[in-house]
Amino acid sequence: MEAMGMQLEQHLYALEQALQASATRTDAKRVAQLLADDFVEFGASGTVWGSKAEVIAGLQDEVFAPRRISGFAVKVLGQGVALATYRGHREGTGDSLRSSVWREEQGQWRMVFHQGTPAPAT
C-alpha cells in the first residue's frame, strides 16, 4: 500500500478506536466532532440510529463494555471518502463484522455511516 494510503489507514484506525473508548463515548462534544451531521448507523443489535443526535443521546445511558478491533482494512472509495472494515470484539456481547464510511470534511475525517453485523467468534 502506498504511504498516503497507509497513513489514512492508521488515521482511520485511530478514529475508530477513539469511538470505541469509554472516554470518547461519554464525551458528547468529541462524538459530535467524529460523526458527520448526516450520520446513520445500523447496529449489530438491529437498532437503527437515524441521526447523530440519537447516537449522542444513546451513549449517555450506555453501559460500557471493553471493545477491540482486529482485521482492520481501508478501501478508498473516491476523493475524500473511504470504507473501513474490521471485526469488532465486545466483552460480554461477542463478535461483529463492522463497516464504516468516512468522509473528509474541511480537513477532518468524519464517520457518515456505520454498520455492525453479528458474527460467530473466531
- For the stretch 64-84, pLDDT in tens is 888 999 999 999 999 999 999
pLDDT on residue 89: 93
What separation, in Å, do the N-terminal and C-terminal C-alpha atoms of the chain show? 26
Check residue 55 and give its pLDDT: 93
Domains and CATH numbers, the chain: 3-119 (3.10.450.50)
Per-residue confidence (pLDDT) for residue 3, from 0 to 100: 53
Our CA angle for 32, 34, 91, nearest 5°, is 100
| 122 pLDDT higher than 80 | no
pLDDT at residue number 94: 86
Residue for grid cell 473511504: 82
Q: Kindly state the percentage of the chain with pLDDT values over 70.
A: 97
So what's the pLDDT on residue 1? 43
